[in-house]
Amino acid sequence: MSIRTIDPTTARPKFVPSRRRFDLGSRYTPVLVTLVLLIAMWGVGATRYRGFLSVQMLLNLLIDNSFLLVLVVGMTFVILTGGIDLSVGSVVALSTMIAASLLRAGWPPLAVIVIVLVVGSTLGMLVGLVIHFFEIQPFIATLAAMFLARGLCYVISLNSISITNPFFVDMAQTRIPLGPGLMITPSVIIAVIVVGIAFFVLHYTRTGRTVYGIGNGGQSAMLMGLPVARTRVLVYVISGFCSALGGVLFTFYTLSGYSLTAVGMELDAIAAVVIGGTLLTGGSGFILGSVLGVLVLGIIQTIISFEGTLSSWWTKIVIGALLLVFIVLQRLLTTLRR
Q: What is the pLDDT of residues 56-108, one digit of tens each?
A: 888 999 999 999 999 999 999 999 999 999 999 999 999 999 999 999 999 99
What does the pLDDT read at residue 9?
A: 52
- Mean pLDDT (the chain, rounded): 88
- Which is nearest to 281 in space by CA: 216, 227, 333, 230? 216
- Mapped onto helix, strand or coil, the DSSP state of residue 181 is coil
What does the pLDDT read at residue 6?
A: 47
What does the pLDDT read at residue 28?
A: 80
What does the pLDDT read at residue 18?
A: 44
- Give me the torsion for CA of 302, 306, 309, 312, rounded to 10°: 20
The dihedral sign for the CA sequence 103, 109, 111, 114: positive
Domain 31-337 falls in which CATH fold?
ABC transporter involved in vitamin B12 uptake, BtuC (1.10.3470)
What does the pLDDT read at residue 10?
A: 52
How far apart, in whole angstroms, are the C-alpha atoms of residue 172 and residue 186? 8
According to DSSP, the residues that pair with 161 across neighbouring strands are 257
- In angstroms, the Cα distances linking 243 to 74, 86, 171, 332 are 7, 11, 19, 32
pLDDT digits (tens, 9 = 90+) for 280-289: 888 888 999 9
Mean pLDDT, residues 269-277:
93
* Cβ-based burial of 34 (10 A; exposed 0-12, middle 13-18, buried ≥19): buried
- Which is nearest to 244 in space by CA: 65, 105, 139, 123? 123
What does the pLDDT read at residue 333?
A: 72
- In angstroms, the Cα distances linking 21 to 27, 29, 215, 285, 336 are 10, 12, 22, 17, 13
**Proportion of the chain in helix, strand, coil states, percent, rounded to 5:** 70, 5, 20
Mean pLDDT, residues 223-232:
84
Residue 181 has pLDDT above 80, yes or no: yes
How far apart, in whole angstroms, are the C-alpha atoms of residue 50 and residue 52? 6
Please check whether residue 296 is in contact with residue 315, taking contact to mean a CB–CB distance below 8 angstroms.
no
Please check whether residue 259 is in contact with residue 157, taking contact to mean a CB–CB distance below 8 angstroms.
yes
224 vs 2, more confident: 224
What does the pLDDT read at residue 1?
A: 47
Total Cβ atoms within 10 A of residue 188: 20
Total Cβ atoms within 10 A of residue 180: 5
Residue 109 has pLDDT above 90, yes or no: yes
pLDDT digits (tens, 9 = 90+) for 302-324: 888 887 766 777 778 888 888 88
Q: Out of 192-206, 232-246, 249-263, 302-316, pick the least confident.
A: 302-316
Please check whether residue 75 is in contact with residue 290, taking contact to mean a CB–CB distance below 8 angstroms.
yes
